[in-house]
Chain A
Amino acid sequence: MTRISLTVDGAKVADDVEPRMLLVQYLRERLGKTGTVIGCDTSNCGACTVHLDGTSVKSCNVLAVQADGAEVTTIEGLARDGELHPVQESFRECHGLQCGFCTPGMIMQSVALLAENPRPSEEEIRLGLEGNLCRCTGYHNIVRAVQHAADSMDTPAAAPTGGLS
């Protein structure tokens, strides 16, 4: 067992874990953060995407011990003070989800994508989501949702020329 301490969705947590425990298992089984899900065993599907120290990672592909000292944000920590994050709101508004299983990962990756590129083109959105599989939506409305979120998060100062296609 290895002792780890980290911050998850704003709360400080500490546990003894087996070194082999995956971060996603730790989130689900120890912390009850079942909003983050496991969709594959080869890190292809991206359903388990969370933010680790501010960047998106696949939590099935990180050991819990590797997150010692880190700050983790999951889908459950995205809404603040009861207000949905604009990306969450956009997924609902644009019908960017059906069964919803890929949705936590898709939303977390979309948030990371927009943090790195606030005004992405359709192609940039599609490439930015290449690590997240969805079987329901055909991606069409997911792309719309990210575009919608980019619009809704946009501030005049941040807007470069061009904009959304």
Chain B
Amino acid sequence: MTATETRPEQGEREIGRERRRKEDQRLITGRTRWTDNIVLPGMLHLAMVRSPFAHARILSVDTEAARGATNVVDVLSGADLADTQGVLINAWPITPDQKTPTHLPVAIDRVAFAGEIVAVVVARTAAEARDAAELVDVEYDVLPPALDLKEAAAADADNGGPLAHPDLGTNKSAHWVFDSAEAGTGGDVEEAIRQARTDGIVLEREYRQQRLIPAFMEPRSTVVDPTGEQLTVWSATQIPHILRFALAATTGIPESKLRVIAPDVGGGFGGKLQTTPEEWITVAVARRLSRPVKYTETRSESLMAGHHGRDQWQKLTLAATKDGTVTGLKVELLADLGAYVSLVGGGVPVLGAFMFNAIYKFPAYHFGVQTVLTNKTWTDAYRGAGRPEATFAIERLMDELAAEVGVDPLAIREQNWIKHEEFPFTTVAGLEYDSGNYEAATARAKELFGYDELRAEQQRRRDSGDPVQLGIGVSTFTEMCGLAPSRVLGSLDYGAGGWEHASVRMLATGKVEVVTGASAHGQGHETAFSQIVADRLGVPFEDVEVLHGDTAISHKGLDTYGSRSLVVGGEALVKAVDKVIDKARPIAAHLLEASADDLEYRGGRFAVRGTDQGMGIAEIASAVFAAHNLPDGVEASLDSDATFDPVNFNYPHGTHLCAMEIDTETGALHMRKYVCVDDIGNVINPLIVAGQVHGGLVQGIAQALWEEAVYDDSGTLVSGSFVDYLLPTAADTISFEVDHTTTPALTNTLGTKGVGEAGTIASTPAVVNAVVDALRPWGVHDVAMPCTPERVWRAIQGADKGGSTTGAAAPHFDAATGMEGTVDRTTGGTDA
């Protein structure tokens, strides 16, 4: 390709610079455009009436008193909106026979989780809408809720267990299987297990992925303006393009009559990768009343009704030789969907299916997931989506295997991982890993961490019976990201593709407008994409303006999730820039009266080889704008569009090491040190990358230590505010040591790999491994997440009661302590 040979020279490169972010000026001065900031003439406000019950029939909805309240414009039940509200869609039915209950924005006959909307109040102010919402009288017939995941999976019409949706006759939604023997990617796992039971090691473990809440800082908000030809929808969403498509598909509004704008969006982490009842309702009310309408959720509503994440039981069987070489892995999952199958929620565990084998060479692999409906808030993507669950399971198992064999956890990993000279490597799950170097990342991490010194300190503390014990946790992770090759998504029955789109517009003054279909919500696209364009087009960083998040400007796109913006969207941008250069070349040749073949493009300029003649891209843009002197048959435009569809996922990896101090008297946990060395390929902006890693780490650490969405026996969310859903603060976290090794990705021009989810995926098992490592002298081999001080303390107490303080055969702590009905703390099986 012409452009490849005419890139700017090394010395001029923008890529790799620690550019301060373009986004920040408005954010640090408060000149922001959050959806809730939008005020339109005559705008009305909504308040939702939500079910307090997890499962109930709606007998009646009496709106009369609410209608009579001051400044109330309308009060609507589900029945009132039945013809216009549309339905919420599931874009990823993972099997043809998946059970998918109908999800109406406003429930009509029955509610299936606490927080489901049963009526909507429209008033002149949000406060008045809320006042009137309390006057709506809903009569319910309470039904038994299906709450516990295992019980729900086992319930059916015969045993009388509660059904989340009685008309389905089961809580089982879909069963999805991958088997390496069937797929031809490996051997028979049952045979491997049989063999290992005879003369090797079989580890059976069960891990709980607790339910989490994405808890983005900006509550969701939607404003709909029906004035004008297009219906304009502003929403705090990660997915303006998908939202537009889904609204068109289910409400009957032609896509061309819809404009969706995601203005400044305050974080998402998967939590705003959703099409929501609240969005559908706001659209329906605005259309019905022909008035602009706003709905902004409260934090309580956000925690209760925004989608949750994780929530799986993982049953794992690992077969290995006596010396610790893994011969097979069998994974059986139960995944809690909550009350409805969300946009891509059913597919979340499937995204993990290809990752349980991680960086290792397993000869045989079986994966099965049963998705299950319950009367709890729906679940869907949360940072990492499927891959953190897989990584947690395998990285915990590798530590267990190391303990069983009696070797260092890093040694057991090295024994099993793919060596750097073996890339590209096709895994037992059928993926081709293009690049990586696990040895290099691990060596660097060990050095930064002071691994040997900390191991020595650990031993000293053990020997002296120090009340504060030290644990060291290892996580050598990889992930598949950059969602995704469209063909792969198609083969998995996902409802859309995985390409991304970009446009480059050369303005008359030489400035450059760049349009991307990746919609940012804090990542720094405006800065990083400016660097890519500045680098490749050879224009000043400041001259590039990145536009996104408005379907009227960015007509095509698939938005931001799955660490895809740079590796898919960035590559689309590269292609669009190259097209601009290609279009400019004949014009430059014409204006310079030279042969196009004699031109080389470098530093934003076509130069005639062997002369000092040349012309800058701005000058060419100006000439194109004037169009006075263009070659015959050449269009008067340098603007270009490009769509990029990756041929493969990409596979960042890294080695994370964590040291935890455990106060054995109270169970209190203190993080002493955290080092991570990630290989994310080439880096566009090291500052932004470090920020992504830091934030990701804390979200993963928070799963290990603090966060859990807890329901009581009636299906009420107990952790329903920030008082009880424990997000860490600055005072709970530490400074991290972050470094990189680099093997460029081979599947995109920039050589980059995704980084948005890496920290979250890697850190959870590193922390839990450290906690368990500290407690191994007590015979503990698991602590359920979140590893609370109480659970740690009970682990130690339980071990004491068991009478054995050494060896993996010690009784499992949770067997000795039956406590707290709302939190199921069963965690492990027994060793072979």
A and B in direct contact, judged by CB atoms within 8 A? yes
The reply to whether A103 and B727 form a contact with Cβ atoms under 8 Å apart is no
The reply to whether B299 and A41 form a contact with Cβ atoms under 8 Å apart is yes
* B521: interface (CB < 8 Å): yes
List B contacts of A104 (CB < 8 A): 30
* A137: interface (CB < 8 Å): yes
Residues from 684 to 718 in B contacting A, C-beta threshold 8 Å:
687-688, 690-692, 694-699
Cross-interface CB contact of B729 among A78, A101, A132, cutoff 8 Å? A132
* A66: interface (CB < 8 Å): no
A84-107: CB near B (< 8 Å → 1, else 0) gives: 100010011101011111111001
* B127: interface (CB < 8 Å): yes
* Nearest CB on B from A78, distance (A): 8
The reply to whether A125 and B730 form a contact with Cβ atoms under 8 Å apart is yes
Distance between Cα atoms of A88 and B32 in the complex (Å): 15
Q: Which residue of A lies closest to B725 (CB)?
A: A44
Q: Which residue of A lies closest to B28 (CB)?
A: A88
Known contacts A95-B21, A95-B687, A99-B522; A127/B731 CB under 8 A: yes
Residues from 1 to 47 in B contacting A, C-beta threshold 8 Å:
20-21, 23-32, 34, 36-37
Distance between Cα atoms of A103 and B730 in the complex (Å): 14
Residues from 503 to 540 in B contacting A, C-beta threshold 8 Å:
521-524
Cross-interface CB contact of A136 among B29, B30, B31, B695, cutoff 8 Å? B695
* B264: interface (CB < 8 Å): yes
* Nearest CB on B from A117, distance (A): 15
* B217: interface (CB < 8 Å): yes
Distance between Cα atoms of A97 and B298 in the complex (Å): 23
Distance between Cα atoms of A132 and B523 in the complex (Å): 20
List B contacts of A76 (CB < 8 A): 29-31
* B736: interface (CB < 8 Å): yes
Known contacts A42-B723, A126-B730; A93/B20 CB under 8 A: yes
Residues from 3 to 42 in A contacting B, C-beta threshold 8 Å:
18, 20, 28, 33-42
The reply to whether B687 and A100 form a contact with Cβ atoms under 8 Å apart is no
The reply to whether A20 and B127 form a contact with Cβ atoms under 8 Å apart is yes
Q: Which residue of A lies closest to B685 (CB)?
A: A95
Residues from 723 to 739 in B contacting A, C-beta threshold 8 Å:
723, 727, 729-731, 733, 735-736
List B contacts of A129 (CB < 8 A): 729-731
Distance between Cα atoms of A142 and B690 in the complex (Å): 12
The reply to whether A136 and B730 form a contact with Cβ atoms under 8 Å apart is no
* A52: interface (CB < 8 Å): no
Query: How many residues does chain B have at the interface if contact means C-beta atoms less than 8 Å apart?
Result: 55
Distance between Cα atoms of A39 and B300 in the complex (Å): 10
Most chain A beta carbons < 10 A, residue from B265, B300, B695: B695
Cross-interface CB contact of A133 among B219, B694, B695, B722, cutoff 8 Å? B722
* Nearest CB on A from B734, distance (A): 8
The reply to whether A40 and B721 form a contact with Cβ atoms under 8 Å apart is yes
Distance between Cα atoms of A79 and B521 in the complex (Å): 25
The reply to whether A98 and B730 form a contact with Cβ atoms under 8 Å apart is no
* B188: interface (CB < 8 Å): no
The reply to whether A137 and B729 form a contact with Cβ atoms under 8 Å apart is no
The reply to whether A37 and B28 form a contact with Cβ atoms under 8 Å apart is no
The reply to whether B30 and A36 form a contact with Cβ atoms under 8 Å apart is yes
The reply to whether A141 and B694 form a contact with Cβ atoms under 8 Å apart is yes
Distance between Cα atoms of A131 and B688 in the complex (Å): 25
Distance between Cα atoms of A52 and B347 in the complex (Å): 49
Cross-interface CB contact of A137 among B37, B266, B695, cutoff 8 Å? B695
Query: How many residues does chain A have at the interface if contact means C-beta atoms less than 8 Å apart?
Result: 55
The reply to whether A97 and B695 form a contact with Cβ atoms under 8 Å apart is no
* Nearest CB on A from B381, distance (A): 15
The reply to whether A45 and B217 form a contact with Cβ atoms under 8 Å apart is yes
Distance between Cα atoms of A136 and B733 in the complex (Å): 13
Distance between Cα atoms of A38 and B695 in the complex (Å): 21
Distance between Cα atoms of A99 and B695 in the complex (Å): 11
The reply to whether B28 and A92 form a contact with Cβ atoms under 8 Å apart is yes
The reply to whether B28 and A91 form a contact with Cβ atoms under 8 Å apart is yes
* Nearest CB on B from A153, distance (A): 16
Distance between Cα atoms of A138 and B760 in the complex (Å): 11
The reply to whether B721 and A41 form a contact with Cβ atoms under 8 Å apart is yes
Distance between Cα atoms of A26 and B326 in the complex (Å): 63
A132-157: CB near B (< 8 Å → 1, else 0) gives: 11111111111100000000000000
Q: Which residue of A lies closest to B691 (CB)?
A: A95
Distance between Cα atoms of A48 and B730 in the complex (Å): 17
Distance between Cα atoms of A45 and B27 in the complex (Å): 17
* B588: interface (CB < 8 Å): no
The reply to whether B729 and A92 form a contact with Cβ atoms under 8 Å apart is no
The reply to whether A42 and B28 form a contact with Cβ atoms under 8 Å apart is no
Distance between Cα atoms of A125 and B733 in the complex (Å): 12
Most chain B beta carbons < 10 A, residue from A44, A75, A125: A44
Distance between Cα atoms of A76 and B27 in the complex (Å): 10
Known contacts A138-B694, A140-B736; A74/B25 CB under 8 A: no
List B contacts of A20 (CB < 8 A): 127
Q: Which residue of B lies closest to A108 (CB)?
A: B30
Known contacts A39-B217, A39-B219, A101-B218; A79/B695 CB under 8 A: no
The reply to whether B688 and A37 form a contact with Cβ atoms under 8 Å apart is no
Known contacts A41-B299, A76-B29, A100-B24; A135/B727 CB under 8 A: yes
* B340: interface (CB < 8 Å): no
* B267: interface (CB < 8 Å): yes
The reply to whether B32 and A35 form a contact with Cβ atoms under 8 Å apart is yes
Distance between Cα atoms of A133 and B269 in the complex (Å): 15
* B216: interface (CB < 8 Å): yes
List A contacts of B723 (CB < 8 A): 42, 44
* B215: interface (CB < 8 Å): yes
B258-292: CB near A (< 8 Å → 1, else 0) gives: 00000011110100000000000000000000000
Distance between Cα atoms of A138 and B733 in the complex (Å): 8
Distance between Cα atoms of A40 and B730 in the complex (Å): 18
Residues from 269 to 328 in B contacting A, C-beta threshold 8 Å:
269, 298-300
List B contacts of A34 (CB < 8 A): 30, 32, 34, 36-37
Distance between Cα atoms of A34 and B34 in the complex (Å): 8
Distance between Cα atoms of A129 and B732 in the complex (Å): 11
Known contacts A41-B299, A44-B722; A134/B697 CB under 8 A: no
Distance between Cα atoms of A130 and B730 in the complex (Å): 6
Q: Which residue of A lies closest to B521 (CB)?
A: A99
* Nearest CB on A from B303, distance (A): 9
Cross-interface CB contact of B266 among A91, A100, A140, cutoff 8 Å? A100
* A47: interface (CB < 8 Å): yes
The reply to whether B730 and A139 form a contact with Cβ atoms under 8 Å apart is yes
The reply to whether B694 and A140 form a contact with Cβ atoms under 8 Å apart is yes
List B contacts of A100 (CB < 8 A): 23-24, 26-28, 32, 264, 266, 522
Q: Which residue of B lies closest to A103 (CB)?
A: B27
Known contacts A39-B217, A135-B217, A137-B695; A95/B733 CB under 8 A: no
List B contacts of A139 (CB < 8 A): 694, 698, 729-730, 733
* Nearest CB on B from A59, distance (A): 13
Cross-interface CB contact of A97 among B24, B127, B697, B735, cutoff 8 Å? B24
Most chain A beta carbons < 10 A, residue from B20, B218, B523, B690: B218
Distance between Cα atoms of A78 and B691 in the complex (Å): 25
Distance between Cα atoms of A92 and B36 in the complex (Å): 24
Distance between Cα atoms of A141 and B93 in the complex (Å): 41
The reply to whether B521 and A91 form a contact with Cβ atoms under 8 Å apart is no
* A71: interface (CB < 8 Å): no
Known contacts A47-B217, A136-B267, A137-B694; A92/B21 CB under 8 A: yes
List B contacts of A68 (CB < 8 A): none
Q: Which residue of A lies closest to B236 (CB)?
A: A101
Starting from the known contacts A35-B30, A138-B699, 17 additional A-B residue pairs (CB-CB under 8 Å) come to A34-B30, A39-B219, A47-B217, A76-B29, A92-B20, A98-B691, A99-B218, A100-B26, A100-B32, A101-B267, A132-B730, A133-B722, A133-B727, A135-B216, A135-B727, A138-B696, A140-B735
Q: Which 9 A-B pairs have the closest CB atoms?
A: A35-B30, A99-B522, A101-B266, A100-B27, A138-B698, A138-B694, A44-B722, A75-B30, A40-B299
* 17 pairs from A and B in contact (CB 8 Å cutoff): A34-B34, A34-B36, A35-B29, A37-B266, A42-B723, A45-B299, A76-B30, A79-B29, A95-B20, A95-B687, A97-B24, A100-B28, A101-B34, A135-B267, A137-B695, A138-B695, A138-B698
